[in-house]
Chain A
Amino acid sequence: MTEPTLVWDDVRITYAGGNVAVDGVSLEVERGGTVGLAGESGCGKSTLAMSVLRLLPRSARIEGRIVLQGEEVAGMTWGRLRAVRWTEAAIVFQGAMHSLNPVRQVRHQVAEALALHSTKEFPDSAARLRRVDELLALVDLTPAKGRAYPHELSGGQRQRVMIAMALACDPELIIADEPTTALDVVVQAQVLDVLNGLVRDRELTLVMISHDLAVLAAVCDRIVVMQDGRIVEQGKAQQILAAPTHEHTKELAAAFPIIGDPSSRLVVGRDPGSLSDHSSLSVSTSSTGGVVLEVRDLTVDFRSRGQHVRAVDHVDLSCGAGEIVALVGQSGSGKTTLARTILGLQKPTSGQVLHEGKPLPHRRAALKAYRRQVQYVLQDPTASLNPKHTVYEAVAEGIRIHGLDDERERVIRALTRAELTPPERFFAAIPQELSGGQRQRVVIAGALALDPTYLVADEPVASLDASVRGEILALLLQLRRDLGLGALVITHDLGLAWNIADRVVVMHRGQIVENGPVEQVLLDPQHDYTKSLLAVVPSKLGLR
């Protein structure tokens, strides 16, 4: 039996203030093994992974033993630790944009690790740059891409540069911290493919962190589920995905539904029993309403560096009252531009947006009245709330802008509808004190305060934890049931469309390529692009 690459032995990590991030975790990663750490934000999975290279803040206190390649991490000197970082174990960080220096070409940044750790093998910069080209080829990037600056690369390309960087010194162990979280499904599949290939060809040991079980299953043999700093379940990837035993694992698995599974259709949240009767009722009543929003032959062009980019290309779309429409596409497909144009935040180059049959007004006062009717929920609730404003101010903002009376009553009603109860308890809170899900509820409450007839939600759950995702989607369904409120939900997640939408609109390179009822589009896709999107859904990747 060979010695395991990485061992955590009863590790306990405490932050200043007595906050226990990791609570007695014992785990072994055998040589060439692939282990996925799953769990929600705050469960300690990142802390556990960073502890391997002693990358935790000074305030963290580590108890227990961490053994890397037979050597105890706590006993390493600074010089030894520096050598171990990158040459034996390397990390792929979460936000590729933030981990790259924006003012240097990426190949020089990859070469940096070589210059620091492998001066013997690659003595001069020409040799190092040759090696960089090899590394980039490993992750399917051409040498020309190496001469690009980070902002010139797409998210997936940047993430692949990060992986190339991690591979620079031929490490035994790679720790990937949410490597695909900010990427859309197609790019995610590409990055996972690259990781898979590397693990297979170079016999790397991989520890991958993610909140998405399906993503982990696509790469890892073994999955470890953590909650509150403890391991609650571990086992073979397929077994965890197919037959989870622990409650928390079930929750995580349920958040990423299998398309085509009728039990997750129009049912989300923790209490499916009570919801399903109502929502199935509402489906039959919802489609009877008239058309609220209509887009006719809409085109939006951007000019960047002298080039015309067509973000939205002759799009026709209509949304009925009380109808939930999912607008699906990759990032860069023009989804958000379409949404912003519908809201009058972006001027169309040609074509029209109609609200209840009337074209969108250009005058400020009229546009303001229109914006009372159609509300916007943004992707990242943390960023879309002013950090200095209390919940009360955030919800009352629209009411004040429109000079409505009964401010307090309206705020209470909006918060109650967004299920922040009792509303008075949240008045004085600032966004920082709330959880991600509560923040998104505040944003939704701010929209509801104006009694809108339609919601436009741009990736409303993309930045939220798995279990919270279910809650927010359940809220959207419930608002539709109670208030007849329709929504245009923009997403890259086909599972979400399966969860809540009545109709799916697939957008590709500014054009709508497929449009129809959810069951029809997702179960019997006609267009090639829809088929390719469905092929890369993580839940299918894992089964491949």
Chain B
Amino acid sequence: MKYLSSIGLSAKDETVLKSLIDLLGARTSEEWIYRDDVMVDALLLDFDNSEAVAAWNTKPESVRRNTIAYSSEIPGISFARRLAKPLRAADLIAVLKDIEENPGKADKAPASSTPPPSTQAPSEISTLAECVARHSEGLLRLTFGDREVVLDRQRRCFSTSESGESLAALLAHPFQEFQVTRGADVNLPPDGSIKWLDQKALLWLVGQSGSHGRLIDGLEQGGLFRITRWPGFGLVRPSQTVLTLCSMLTRKNAMSIEEIRSVSGVPEFDIIAFINAASLTGILVAQSGDAAKPDKPAAKPELPTERKGLFAKIRSRLANTRA
């Protein structure tokens, strides 16, 4: 007899899980029972629920072994065992059989190439970018005093009390200073009283303002990065740094953070913010830094100093126009 429990599942998912366990019968080698009051043989963790992930992180290894990450398609989940939402009997049976056969299998990176998975278990959420990256379904409300942002992942839109630069400034506050509400706990005013905007504008700003120098889980510090297109900047005019990174990262060959820093002179803090923003908006392609670069391109010829000087003067002139 084996025991299964869960952390962070919605009431509906928990009901479905218990029903499926009851119905498994002879389809697994051992009899499985849902219990949360004994030492369990498997634990289903809702990876999209950041509070559940934080709680899971505090549990001893004996409880965390054989954790099954249950999530939407979040790239880079670093668990050997995963279940995609919604819960399906066949998938559950397969993963339980695997636990029966390989009870001690260590969590390791799943076989996925893009973006490269982290080999670390999910860490506690420390940045707003990480919080939003892990929240891939339903409603998320971020409150800071009387200011707030509501993100609706289902409908791919957001609403906020702020506008433009003010929103960017709000999102730059440390994550710990926000009050976070998720799912059914987010009470919305009646339809029609809120103005909803495309979520990409918010996701871009969250990456840009709410990264605090930390890559979101699943992105390797030593990885290689490029973007598939220029981002839609939405609410806030891009800085020169952002335009520089857009140009560099749309090159055919992916670049490491160190290469980008070396060529552009942009601080790593800003590069990480850009990479997170690109990841959140779905335009990032990441490769493992361990993978050999296909064909190292010939180095781009250095621009003559005169040319660089001209570009700098044009930028300066246009900056004056904006001011």
Specify whether A and B are partners. Answer: no
Interface residue ranges, A against B (CB under 8 Å): none
Interface residue ranges, B against A (CB under 8 Å): none
